[in-house]
Amino acid sequence: MSNTARILLGLILGALVGLLLAWLDPALATRAADIAQPIGRLWLNALQMTVVPLVLALVIVGVSATRDAAASGRIARRALVTFALLLAGGGVFAALSAPMAFSWLPRDANLLDHLRASIPAASSLSAPTNLADWFATVIPSNAIAAAAQSAMLPLVVFALFFGFALTRIDATRHQRMLEFFQSIADVMIVIVHWVLWAAPLGVFALVLAVCAKAGSSVLSALGWYVVILSSIYVAVTLLLYPIAVLVGGERLRRWVPAILPAQIVAASTQSSLATLPAMLESARERLDHPRAASALVLPMAVSLFRITSPIQYIVVSAFIAWLYGIDVGVMQMGIAVVLAVVISLGSVGLPGQVSFMATNMPVASALGLPLEPLALLLAVDTIPDVFATVGNVSADLTANSIVANGERESARGEIESARSEIESVRGEPVEP
């Protein structure tokens, strides 16, 4: 049985036991929840202990990987700019749509009170409230203190400075330091895998406590989260179509059937890497993209680019904010979008469940939100992940179209420039 299936089983059993206890004897259900809660909290603490070193290492290694990719030529630089713009666009779309969607949901005050009581927050960070506070906290006065306090935004800023500075030192020392931080990331991922092996028990305990105290309404709240996240994934995927037409120079009637085979493989495998051969075939055979561009852009996209990652981080944070009745301002959400894009670029290679916990925690922490609901959301992430993979593959092919179209425009410009030079020398027009 896969770990995803085990986690889902833990979710189902926890919900059934909690709801049954609440129906038979509310007093017994409360006692059972009080016993289960510390077990779930212990499991979540084990996950949280890896976040700071993992994020620090991933950002530093990600900066080096991005610099190396940008140094490999004009196509790679154009691809990186395209990735960044699409990631930012997806994050902004989620920041605008997710809070609005959750605000439309009926608020059951009794349900929310029980949920907050059954998932107590051990600690949460205070988010900046105005522009002056934001500028004061962006650059840490003490990076070690920022790490100790899990202050993710200043920690990521320090990691970015460190990563860029690392590229300016002696190549041998740079490589040694890079291997050191890659080793830290690898070790943290091993620990996370160990902790996720116990995820069925942790999820069982957390869901039992929630359902025993909050009742069946919690399942409807999680259902709305799945529906809203999946809907935003689909909406962003559909928005990529006009982008491919307007910016990538594609024709819609050719674009839709050309990317459909890759989308089908993505939905069935839930892996962008496994879909890479289908993407290459769609780009070269069905869309006539230049082979030089496709051979570089699509593998880069699989390695560095996942458009649904910032969307997930923002929607998860918006759901937790709605759950706890926390008002997240425009400036705070803007910080979350920037942070989501940076973390996304450094974490694409992580396995799905590892990525969910390790990357959602920093964004939620930066907004001052409790982290405990993340365990419940991890348990129901299987369904949205299908739509996320389709969106990622569609975005990869869209980015490839944009870069390929840019290369075609550059080639035409170079031809026109050469023709003009020849005409100026010969004194007569040159036939195209």
Q: What distance in Å separates the CA atoms of residue 383 and residue 392, rounded to the nearest whole number?
A: 15
In this prediction, residue 132 carries a pLDDT of 57
3-state secondary structure (DSSP) of residue 133: helix
In this prediction, residue 240 carries a pLDDT of 94
The reply to whether 429 falls in a domain is no
The reply to whether 425 falls in a domain is no
User: Which structural domain range is residue 262 located in?
Assistant: 3-416
399-419 tens-digit pLDDT:
999 988 887 776 555 555 555
The reply to whether 430 falls in a domain is no
**Between helices 74-103 and 382-426, what is the axis angle to 10°?**
140
Higher pLDDT among residues 204 and 89, named by residue? 89
309 with 342: CB under 8 angstroms? Answer: no
In this prediction, residue 232 carries a pLDDT of 96
Q: List the CATH number of the domain containing 277.
A: 1.10.3860
CA distances from 421 to 99, 381, 412, 432 (A): 56, 59, 14, 13
Q: What distance in Å separates the CA atoms of residue 113 and residue 282, rounded to the nearest whole number?
A: 50
In this prediction, residue 243 carries a pLDDT of 94
Residue 256: which of 231, 287, 289 has the closest Cα? 287
The reply to whether 191 falls in a domain is yes
CA angle (275, 278, 280) in 5-degree steps: 110
pLDDT at 126 over 50: no
Q: What distance in Å separates the CA atoms of residue 20 and residue 99, rounded to the nearest whole number?
A: 33
Mean per-residue pLDDT for 10-38?
A: 83
Q: CB atoms < 10 A from the CB of 260, how many? A: 13
pLDDT at 150 over 50: yes
The reply to whether 45 falls in a domain is yes
268-299 tens-digit pLDDT:
877 787 788 888 888 888 888 888 778 888 88
Instruction: List the structure tokens of 294.
Output: 């496709």
Chain-wide mean pLDDT for the chain? 80
32 with 212: CB under 8 angstroms? Answer: yes
* Residues whose CB is less than 8 angstroms from the CB of residue 81 and which lie 6 or more positions away in sequence, other chains included: none
199 with 43: CB under 8 angstroms? Answer: yes
In this prediction, residue 123 carries a pLDDT of 46
Mean per-residue pLDDT for 12-22?
A: 85
Q: CB-side exposure of 188: number of CA atoms within 13 Å?
A: 25
The reply to whether 427 falls in a domain is no
**Domain count within the chain:** 1
- Where do runs of H (alpha helix) occur along 139-251? 143-148, 152-166, 171-197, 199-214, 217-246
DSSP-derived secondary structure for 362-422 = HHHHHTT--STTHHHHHHTTHHHHHHHHHHHHHHHHHHHHHHHHHHHHHHHHHHHHHHHHH
203 with 357: CB under 8 angstroms? Answer: no
Least confident of 303-312, 343-352, 381-390: 343-352
The reply to whether 86 falls in a domain is yes
Higher pLDDT among residues 430 and 340, named by residue? 340
363-379 tens-digit pLDDT:
888 787 887 788 778 87
Give 186's pLDDT tier (boundaries 50, 70, 90).
confident
Higher pLDDT among residues 255 and 136, named by residue? 255
The H or E element spanning position 54 is helix 51-70
If you count DSSP H runs as helices and E runs as strands, how many of each does the chain have, helices first? 19, 0
- Specify the residue for token string 């989260």: 225
The reply to whether 288 falls in a domain is yes
